[in-house]
Amino acid sequence: SQVHSGISGERESTNRAVEETRGQLIYYNNSVISAFYHSTSGGSTDNSENVWRYALPYIRGVDDPYSNISPYTDWDITLTEQELIVSLNESGYDVHTIYDINVKSISEFNRVLELSILTDKGEIILEKEETRTVIGYSKLRSTWYTFEGNNRAQVLTADGLTSKNIGGTTVMRSDRNNTILYKSNADVLTSTGRYAIPTSADAYLVVGRGFGHSLGMSQYGARGMAEAGFNYIDIIKHYYTGVEVK
């Protein structure tokens, strides 16, 4: 199954593949499977419940070194605070400030299960593929990623004005029935005393691997396996656990 661009986009090789496998289906326990596929796994696929909601016995994570021929194996993107605010608000969150972003948990195959976004309206938890739905599929190419903040400030040293990463975390304090979030401060000691500099990332570097939901067959991985001499039965049984082709 793939995008079909019409007769002008057809190739003899793919037409032959269709004809030679006509009538063959993939089964698990004598039931036809949902043969999900994606572009690039980044090195391993994942279990269906780690990306979507339900556990499918034939969609299990597998090692996928053959996928690493893809140009999307490694990627990174910089997202500004304002871009992220716009994305959140388009999904119904009414926020004005982001204090911090942290990955709270990952799957055994390195995909993000929970992403915590601390905002002026409280903590927002995005789960699994929801992070891509909210932030954007073209921005988060997969759920295998990390967020790195850009908490930097100009500090005058003996060598002159320089940019230093002075860290900073978000402090949460309960005030009666409300939770108030504060940007934390970095303390700088000068000749006239100690000063607190507010720190909050205005941009985040997102570093990731793979392209797509990571479930089932990797298209680049299938190509890599074929080029290494595996046939289509080998490829299908590698990406879909416990299946038969008949």
Averaged pLDDT, 95-117: 92
How far, CA to CA in Å, does 76 sit from each of 39, 141, 142, 189? 17, 9, 11, 35
**Which has more confidence, 95 or 188?**
95
What digits encode the pLDDT tens for the residues 200-236?
A: 557 788 889 999 999 999 999 999 999 999 999 999 9
Instruction: Answer yes or no: are the C-beta atoms of 199 and 168 closer than 8 Å.
Output: yes
pLDDT in tens, 60-99: 999 999 999 999 999 998 888 899 999 999 999 999 988 8
What's the whole-number mean pLDDT along residues 96-104? 88
Confidence of residue 171 (pLDDT cuts 50, 70, 90): very low
pLDDT, mean of residues 117-122: 89
The model's pTM is: 0.76
Most confidently modeled range among 8-22, 44-58, 86-100? 44-58
**Residues paired with residue 180 on neighbouring β-strands, in sequence order:** 173
CA atoms within 13 A on the CB side of 75: 22
